[in-house]
Amino acid sequence: MRTPGLVDLQVNGFAGLDFNSGAVTADALDRALEAMLATGVTTCLPTIITAHPHELAERFQALDAAVRASRLGPLMCPGYHLEGPFLNSGAGYHGCHPADAMTAAKADLVERLDAVLQRPILMVTLAPEIEGGLALAAKLARAGKIVAIGHSAADFETVQAAADAGASLSTHLGNGLPQQLHKLNNTLFAQLGEDRMMAGFIADGIHIHPKALKSLIRAKGFERSILVTDAVVAAGAEPGRYHFAGMPVDLAADGSVRQPGGVSLAGSALKLDDAVRNVVAWGIATPAEAVAMASTHAIAAIQPALAAAGITLPENEITWSPELRIRHVRIGDMTRDFAAEAAA
């Protein structure tokens, strides 16, 4: 099977590299991107999570410099995803994001961060119910950014208002939520039912039970569903202790990533080709549908921001084995052959 390359809209790190470290180098980034290529990913939005303004500036600038100086960054990283700091700091909603760094929604912060970068912030995840959230959503949308809802308690009315303002995506829907919610009147149902918004799902079997994921994708609609990883530094690495955005995290043998002694998850160790294979194995989608959720659907979600920034992605394609293993990857004139590994 030959398909477009996979697209990861939410990836915080990979193969031992934390994109949030503030000390990303071009060589380290190339190693991480090579490891992502082996999973079929040809396009990604490196994601910076909630931090204080000076930390966000340092992290974005280090990441942007590494992308610019690397071999693969200019091909694979058209821009960035800012997840926070405009999130709901309430218990159960903030997840592993540092609640003390969350702020009211401020457009000038995004503008300051964006102004010094060679590649733009293409997507911003926010909670529209916080102070200034709806106004910021509207301003970002007018500026050509993709506005996503995440780590949010937004109710039906607020989700509708956010979509009216230009929000078009849900970030890792089903996660960033407390364990207890109203059985029907809650933000999960509100976002599932908003047809103007697509939704990203983490298909690792840890963030969302496979049968629950099947129900969520059926409710959202296949055509509005996207597979993402929310991968952190531990993805594609061995179980053990790592550091993500200044905090220690442990990758367990079952593939879960948590802060030491913590209960809630801290990103994932998921690889996007594994997500494709998972949703096929779980009877959620056909191989073609699964790949579409991890490729063309994701591109459709960010196409308005790419167009607004004048970005044209290089041609890309991947070839799969009958077992849905990556055999061959092409981006522009660059190719990688993984046929031997796919046959193993």
Active centre residues (catalytic): 230
Tokens describing residue 325: 């293993």
| Beta carbons of 257 and 268 less than 8 angstroms apart | yes
Tokens describing residue 257: 């990533």
CA-to-CA dists, residue 79 to 88, 117, 151, 244, 310, angstroms: 25, 9, 22, 20, 12
Backbone angles phi, psi at 211, to 5 degrees: -70, -35
Tokens describing residue 60: 């974005």
In the chain, the N- to C-terminal Cα span, in Å, equals: 18
Query: CA-CA distance, 96 to 49, in Å (whole number)?
Result: 10
Tokens describing residue 203: 């298909």
CA 32 to chain CA centroid, nearest Å: 16
With 0-12 / 13-18 / 19 or more C-beta atoms within 10 angstroms meaning exposed / middle / buried, residue 321 is: middle
| Beta carbons of 275 and 227 less than 8 angstroms apart | yes
Query: CA-CA distance, 49 to 20, in Å (whole number)?
Result: 7
Backbone angles phi, psi at 31, to 5 degrees: -65, -40
Across the chain, the runs of DSSP E, i.e. the strands, are: 2-3, 6-11, 13-14, 17-18, 41-49, 80-83, 121-126, 146-149, 167-170, 198-202, 225-228, 240-244, 247-251, 256-258, 265-268, 316-320, 326-331, 334-337
**What is residue 101's DSSP assignment?**
G
Helical axes 133-142 vs 156-165, angle rounded to 10°:
30
